[in-house]
Amino acid sequence: MTLAALNASDRTGFADALDGIFEGSRWVAERAWERRPFSCVEQLHASMSAEVANAEGGEQLALLRAHPDLGARVRMSEVSEGEQARAGLPRMARADAERLEQLNRAYRERFGFPFLLAVKGLTPDEVLAAIEQRLQASHEDAKIEALRQVYRIAGFRLQDRVRS
């Protein structure tokens, strides 16, 4: 879709076109619609990210929880599935996949939301190292970093979906 077409869309069409940019959180696009017109994809991304940053804590937490665990063998959005596949997570060695599952569980239990990481360009070993390191974070730092990763993921998704 082009940025010009997005700018010309009504709220529903805009949200439909951007559904999934912020996983399971259509409200982000619906609110960003108010900020049209956007001069570039980066401005659209900044506006959507600002909507998340300005959202209530419960909305932010629901957005974080809408993401699947990395490497999970569960039904997930097509976009998440593709991102994880390109990072090689479905092809991890069995021992590494089991380790990732254990770390995901520990992370979710400690922080109340899944471990989030923009996996584009990363290897399975880098993913494992990142989750092990971030398990040591404070709850506040973990949330800040999770949101930062969500913004990165959304940026990659917008680059793939919207043309200037």
- Residue positions annotated with a catalytic role: 67
Is the CB of residue 158 less than 8 Å from the CB of residue 14? no
H-assigned helices in 1-138: 3-8, 11-17, 26-32, 41-53, 57-65, 78-86, 94-111, 124-134
* 10 three-class SS: coil
Q: Could you give the angle at which helices 139-161 and 78-86 cross, rounded to 10 degrees? A: 100
Ordered DSSP codes for 107-151: HHHHHSS------TT--HHHHHHHHHHHTTS-HHHHHHHHHHHHH
HSE at residue 75, side-chain half, CA atoms within 13 A, is: 0
